[in-house]
Each structure stands twice: as structure tokens, then as C-alpha cells.
Structure 1
């Protein structure tokens, strides 16, 4: 596993913004690449992306400094060296960076290198990436939680809440589950068109219409599930990510796109409880903001037995913060995003900590995605049971679904579809 070189370059993400690609070559001739994604609604405690700030290039979003750091400093430190594990390689990156939030080399540069190392290791050993990440006898294929209506920061419409997802869980396989989801997605398009709504899509491939209310998004999804021939709650359930940290202002939550109404934490909890009782909602991500720890505790006490309460911005895939949440009884699930923490090894540490404490793990893409399919292998490797990687269109989203189809076919009898067990107790 001797590294002969690492080479980085500036490439583009799904929004046409620059990001970092790293390529590692081994002495045995193996090569592989990794690309870092980028988020729009980001947590305050996320590892830091390194951007150039040069307004004459890409409106300041260039990543040439991050690329240069890999090509010069990191390449000089790791070329000619052997690493015996992902942990050893990633710890070397962390040591070179030397900051608490990866701000010197940049989490975007470090993650690209970390992914490239995981991938080149699997190439050299001639094993799939998911086996390189975690060795198991049997693997769990995930339920695809598909973001069919976009709002919030991910769409130029009047819907406040960021993601309305469908979870096709009553299926014998991932292959059949994704078929169910796509059928509802295309049925939803016809329904929206018939109602005179736009069927243009947002950052993650979901439709982005101007609706009469936020709740209408749930209602039209329910209608699409039924019209596609499935039973809401029995075959396909609903997941929400309102991204409430984006609404937090002066101690209240402002529905800045629609009613301009302000909610207290308890009023927003009341709303979620009303919706969960009324609709087959099995998962609520970021139901309150990242700094609203007291509100999160009250929400967990009230709704923790009714739905999977996923912490994204509040946890930031950071083991130290996740442990604080576990100790405080905050939520019952952790969203896992590679670039929030910046390396594969630290991500696996976060998953292990959560699962050891009976928290669910929800593997996630970012809104600024790429063709890199690492999270598809990650969700299988960790037996997380569910993944969100966008809607039923856009190739940077579909590439993850296609990789999962390949993995399921390859595993055959050595895989089980997570299905309803993912939301056990909430259906």
C-alpha cells in the first residue's frame, strides 16, 4: 500500500461551483479518485471548506488553495510512505492540518484525499469499497428516502421547509423499492402539472412548485402515493427535513418564505406533533435548530416514540457533539455527512458511537453533489438502513441509486433489504 503520489484538481459540483478532486496512485499501479461535495444549509460546527475568496474567479468560490495544499504539502508528506489502515492515513491528514475544524488544509481537500485513499485501497485489494470500509458476512440494503419536493434554501419557491421525502419501505429488495419511489415521483409530476404548478426541480432534484401552504406539500405527496397504486404508511411513508436552523432568528423560528409567521420552539413542536398524528410521517430531521438544545430535549420527550428524530446541524457528524447529545437524551438518530467531519475514519467513528448507543444513522448526500458514489458504499458498509441522496432525477443523485443496484446484485443472498425494520416502532 505504498503511495507514490497524490494529485488534486479543481472540478465542479452539481451547482456548477468548484470543489476538490484528489487522485492517489500506489506503487502497485492502482489509482482511484475521491471528490468532496458541498452543502448549502450548513451547521455552524461543520468542518470548514477552504475557498479562495478571489472574486475574480467563480465569485470567490474557487478551491485552488485547497488543491495546492494537497499537491504540495500533503503529497510531500505521504509520497513514498505506506499506511496500514484508513485510520492511519486520515490521522496523518488531521495531524498535517493541525486545526480543530480542518480550516488550514480545508475539509474539502482532506475529504477528497480520504475518499481517494479508501477507494485506492479497495482497488489494490480487488474488493468492493463497502468491504474495504467494513467487513461483514451480511449487509443491509437501505431504504431510499427520496426528496420529491424541495423548498427552503434548496429552491426558489414559497415553501419554507427544505425537504419532503418519501420512503418506499414495503418492498422485497432495494431494486423494487427504488422502482416504487420513481413511480410515485413521476405520478407526482403529473399531479402537480394538472394542478397548474411548476414541475421544475430544485437543487436535489425534487419538484419546487409555489404551493398554497407548506402542508399542501404533504397532501399532494399523499395523493401521488395513492394514485401510483400504493398505500400511504403501509407501503410508502413520509420523511421531513424542514432545516429549521435556517429559520432561527432572535430566539424564534421565522417562516420567511410563506406566512412570515414566527414560531416558538414549543409551537413548532406542536406543529410537528399535529402533522405526525395526521400523516404517516416516520422521520423528522432538524425539527428544531442546532442551538435550541432545550427545545430539542422537549421535542425528544414528546415525539421520540412517534418518529425518528434525526439531528443534522445539531450533531454535524462530530463524535464529541454526538456524545453530548446522547448524554442529554437529544433525538434518537444522527444524520451522517462525510464532509461535515472531513474524513472517512472520523465518519465511521461517528456511526459506531451512534449505533452503540441505539441511535439510528441516516446517511446523507449534500445539495452540492458530484458523481462520486462513496455514500452508497458507506450506507451498505455501516448497515445504516436508510439513505437520502436526492430525488428521482439528476445524475449526481441517480448515480448513488445505480451504485446501490449494482451492490445488491453483487451481494445476492449476502444482503437483506432493510424495509420496514428501518422505521420499527414508528409505522
Structure 2
């Protein structure tokens, strides 16, 4: 990926690009793109889709109308087959930046709303996978070369709230983080065991309806209080035989824009109104009481000043992660870096819309001392590209849901496979965080 000069090789030339409609994990249509090179390298990639979306994300093109309740993607598929494909045929598939830039130029909008972020991202990823296939390399090795040896620490969303669930829990995700282990396999084993014990505890306490799962495979029990959810997580970790301070710890995705009331300038959490400063104080108490290592989107998505303040107050203890704040957008992330807002960024390829822009954001993060967390979306498919990307860029962290539902476990299974393929795989554990809680 980081080759600066190319020796022409016809086998890498793009021979065909074809898109079609498939269904994602929510039953909604999405775009799949297949790229084939002259050397018969094949890359297939699917566009994911978010539920909690930032206003600055690349825009999906949907059909509207009656079919699929307006969620159809025939226009996006047609944009690939009739506009993007003819423009890219014959280009060297290794020239990712050139290819992505060409799609952006054809689109001509600041948010990819003409061709569709869903059309562009699936094409971008499929081209990279086709180039890797032509070279005879897995995607992670194509992206990272011989230094791609670090497996990510998984952040597994096992209690769902917010827009991911039908309960009254305001925070969107309560995650377990198996950081106190020496291999990815050991970490996943611990996570699965905690997940099973959580299921048992929830069923006993709330009944069988409590073990229904949300979009990302986490349970959506009838819990209303943040502390109640955290207490149950601690109970499940201990029940599985693990130490909640030294082996399996906790991360939060607050998605606070969802309960921010712009007209009043307050957050409505658990029925009470909080000012920004009061909400930061609430987080400070949680961090002092629970083994929390990361808080994502603690404040609403336009509050760079507030993010800088919470980073000043909590940034030496936990990761303050910008998702809706940054939307994997280089310009917004630069603004955040300059204002010292947060110390980590959630990286979603479809938020910015191309692989090369994603890699630019990851590079910017590392250059400025930020952590980069590679992430799925709530609407996913069996595509495992993000597993390879996480290893290829050496991110050290990945968010891809609970250890349940095929579209989530596909990523974990791919990471297990990569760990087996590597001669000397490295699992960073707590070293990827600022400290042990």
C-alpha cells in the first residue's frame, strides 16, 4: 500500500468491477462489489451501515419509494456498474489513492452523496482486496507488510442500550475488554465465557426476554440505570472466574448526542438534566468506581471544547474516543487534534468512504499520539475486511460487537485465523491503554 513507485505489471490492471445488492444483518439491502484483475485476482467487499450516524459521515445512496421500505440500493449498484466501473477499468489496482481520488472527483460532492458512500466504500475495499489477491497476499500483509504482526484487543459490546436496543438504557454500549491476556485466542475465550455467564445472570434476574440480543449481538435487558448495567458486568466477569480490574475490564460507548437536547443545551440522562460539566463529573465518578478504560462519545458531536475539557480531566486515565465527533473525517480530526479534543479516534471505513482516506486518518492518529480503534457498524455483513485492516495498520484495538451473530463472529474468526498464520503474533493487552484501571 505504501509503494511510492510502481513497475507496470498488466496482471494488476482492473479487468472488471461489478456491484450487486445483498442483505445486511438487519435485513436491509446493501452494496457488494466484486473486482477482478487481469491476473485473476479477486476482491469482494460489502458496504456496512450505521444506526448511530454522525452528521458529517459519507452519505449512503438509497432508493426511497416502497421497495424495501425505501432502503433499496439499486441506484448505488447502478452507480458502480455504469459510472465507477468504466472509469476504473484498466487502472493499476495497487494505486489505491489514485483510484479513490478518481471516485471522489467523479462524485463531486463533499460527502459522497452523488454516487453514494455505500457504492464508493465497497468499491474501494474490493479493489484493495483484488490487488492483494493478485499479489498472493492476505489483505493485512498487503497493507502492513512484514511488520503487520499485532492482533487487536477486542472491545465487545455485550449490553446494548440507546438506539441499538429497545430498552430504557441511555448509554448505547457496555463493552468488556479482555486486556489481561497474552494472546487473542485467550482473550476471546475469556470474552465468550463472560458473555455466557452474563446471559445466565440476566435470565435469572429479568426472565427470558432479557436475553434477546440487539443489532450487535449484545443483550438488551430491561435495565434503566448505567450503574446497574456496570454492576451486572462486574458480576458476570467474576462469575466467569476473571478479575474485573486485571483481566477483563470495561469500555463505554455513550453516544451522548442521542440524549442531548440542543434546544436546552443539556443532556437528559436517566430522567435528569445534566449540564456539560455535570456530565463530566458523572464520568469522573464512574471511572473512580469501575474498571473503565475507554469512554466513547461522552459529549455531543459538535462539542470540541467539551471534548478538550474532559480529555484534560480524564485523559490520563482513560481513552476519550471520538466517533460522531470525528466521523473518520481528516478535516474534523485535524480540528480535534489542534484543540486537544480526545485522545483516541474510532475508525470506520464507511464513515469517510474510502480505504486511502481511512489510512490517512490512522496515520494522522499515530503521528499525533492518538489511539486508533478499528470499528464495525451496527448493520454488518460477513465481510471481514476490518479484521485485516486492524492488523495491517497495527491499530491494537477493534470494536466489532458481541461474540455472537455470524456477521460479528466472522471478524473474530478471521482474527483467530490471522493469529495462527503469523510466525510471532503479538497481543498488546493493557499496553494499548493509558494504564490499568
Quickly name the TM-score band, shorter chain normalised.
Answer: over 0.9
CA shift in 2, pair 1:14/1:400, >3 Å = same
Q: What is the aligned counterpart of 1:210 among 222, 229, 235?
A: 222
The Cα offsets for residues 259-318 of structure 1, whole Å up to 9 and x where unpaired, read as: 322211111111111000000000000011111222212111111111100000000101
Cα contact 1:144–1:387 (8 A) shared by 2: yes
Give the Cα separation in 1 of the matches to 2:144 and 2:367. 15
Quick check: 1:138–1:416 contact (8 Å CA) kept in 2?
Answer: no
User: How far apart in 2 are the matches of 1:330 and 1:426?
Assistant: 22
Determine the structure 2 residue equivalent to 1:25: 36
Greater alpha carbon shift after TM alignment, 193-202 vs 42-51 = 193-202
- 1:421 is the counterpart of 2:431: yes
Contiguous gaps of at least 5 residues in structure 2 = 1-11
Structure 2 distance, partners of 1:331, 1:273, is 15
Which one of the candidate residues 217, 220, 223 is aligned to 2:232?
Answer: 220
1:30 Cα deviation after fit:
2.1
Q: Name the CA distance, whole Å, in 1 between partners of 2:109 and 2:224.
A: 47
Partner SS for 1:306: coil
Instruction: Check if 1:232 corresponds to 2:244.
Output: yes
* Aligned pair partner of 1:157 in 167, 171, 174: 167
1:316 aligns with: 327
Q: 1:373: how far off?
A: 0.4
Alignment partners' CA distance in 2, 1:86 and 1:4: 15
Runs of 4+ in 1 over 4 A off after TM superposition: none
Give the match for residue 184 of structure 1.
Answer: 194
Q: Which deviates more, 138-147 or 105-114? A: 138-147
Question: Which residue, out of 273, 287, 294, partners 2:284?
Answer: 273
Corresponding residue for residue 49 of structure 1: 60
Structure 2 counterpart SS, 1:288: coil
Is the contact made by 2:35 and 2:126 (CA closer than 8 Å) also made in structure 1? yes
Change (3 A) 1:211 1:84: closer
Deviation at 1:214, TM superposition (A): 2.1
Pairwise CA distance, 1:368: 0.3
What SS does structure 2 have at the residue aligned with 1:4? strand
- 1:163 and 1:303 mapped to 2: Cα distance? 19
Counterpart of 2:258 in 1: which secondary structure? helix
| Aligned residue among 61, 64, 67 for 2:74 | 64
Structure 2 equivalent of residue 169 of structure 1: 179
**Using a 3 Å threshold, how does the CA distance of structure 1 residues 84 and 375 change in structure 2: closer, same or farther?**
closer
Q: Are the equivalent residues in 2 in contact too, given 1:308–1:426 (CA < 8 A)?
A: no
Separation in 2, partners of 1:367, 1:212: 21
Residue 358 of structure 2 corresponds to residue 343 of structure 1: no
Report the Cα offset of residue 138 of structure 1: 4.8
The answer for the alignment partner of 1:297 in structure 2 is: 308
The count of aligned residue pairs is 422
The SS at the match of 2:206 is coil
Of residues 339, 360, 369, the one that matches 1:358 is 369
Give the superposition deviation at 1:424.
Answer: 3.4
Give the equivalent residue in structure 2 for 1:252: 266
The 8 Å contact of residues 182 and 428 in structure 2, kept in 1 or not, is answered as no
Trace 1:405-420 onto structure 2 (pairs within 5 A): 405-413=416-424, 415-420=425-430
User: In structure 1, what is the equivalent of residue 101 of structure 2?
Assistant: 91
Question: Cα deviation per residue 1:177-207 (whole Å; 9 max; x = unaligned)?
Answer: 0000000000110111111241111110000
Moved more, 209-218 or 230-239: 209-218
* Of 29, 46, 50, the match for 1:35: 46
- Considering only aligned residues, what root-mean-square deviation do their CA atoms show, in Å? 1.1
3-state SS in 2 of match to 1:123 = helix
Mark the CA change 1:321 to 1:136 in structure 2 (over 3 Å): closer, same or farther. farther
Which is further off, 299-308 or 130-139? 130-139
One of 396, 406, 409 as aligned partner of 2:407: 396
Give the equivalent residue in structure 1 for 2:113: 103
In the alignment, is the contact (CA less than 8 A) between 1:21 and 1:112 conserved in 2? yes
CA distance in 2, matches of 1:213, 1:171: 30
**How far apart, CA to CA, are the structure 1 residues paired with 2:272 and 2:422?**
50
Give the distance between the partners of 1:267 and 1:304, measured in 2 at CA. Answer: 17
| 1:40-84 C-alpha deviation (Å, 9 max, x unpaired) | 010010111111112x11111111111001000111111233344
Q: Match for residue 13 of structure 1? A: 24
**Residue in structure 2 matched with residue 135 of structure 1 by the alignment:** 145
C-alpha contact 2:17 2:89 (8 A) present in aligned 1 = yes
